[in-house]
Amino acid sequence: MTIETGDFIRINYTGRLEDGTVFDTTYEEVAKEHGIYDENARYESYVIVVGKGHVVEGLDEDIDRKIRRLSRDRLRFRRRRATANAKQNW
C-alpha cells in the first residue's frame, strides 16, 4: 500500500525543538515526563490528510520523506523476495 498526498493517515508524534526540548506530543506519558502535561489536552493519535497542512510546519515534509523512504524500502524488499523466489524455483 502506497501513501500519497491527499491520503488520510493516523499519526502519533512528539515535537521537539533543536535543543531537544519537547513542546508538543500525542503521548500522555511523554507530556508528563517533560512537564508539559495538560489535563484538558487530547493525548491520542490524530487523523490527518497528508500534504495538506493539517499539522505543524515542517511535519508534512517529514512525513512525506518518511513515506518515500518506506516505499523505497518496501520496493527493495519485494524485489529481493521476488529474486529469492525465482532462484528457488530454478
Judge whether 38 lies within some domain. yes
pLDDT, residue 89, reads 45
Strand, helix or coil at 32?
Answer: helix
Strand, helix or coil at 76?
Answer: helix
In the chain, how many domains are there?
Answer: 1
How far apart (Å, rounded) are the C-alpha atoms in residues 10 and 3?
12
Q: Under a CB-based contact definition with an 8 Å cutoff, are residues 26 and 61 in contact?
A: no
Judge whether 3 lies within some domain. no
pTM of the predicted protein model: 0.62
Kindly report, residue by residue over 17-36, the tens digit of the pLDDT.
999 999 999 999 999 999 99
Domain that holds residue 26: 8-88
Judge whether 2 lies within some domain. no
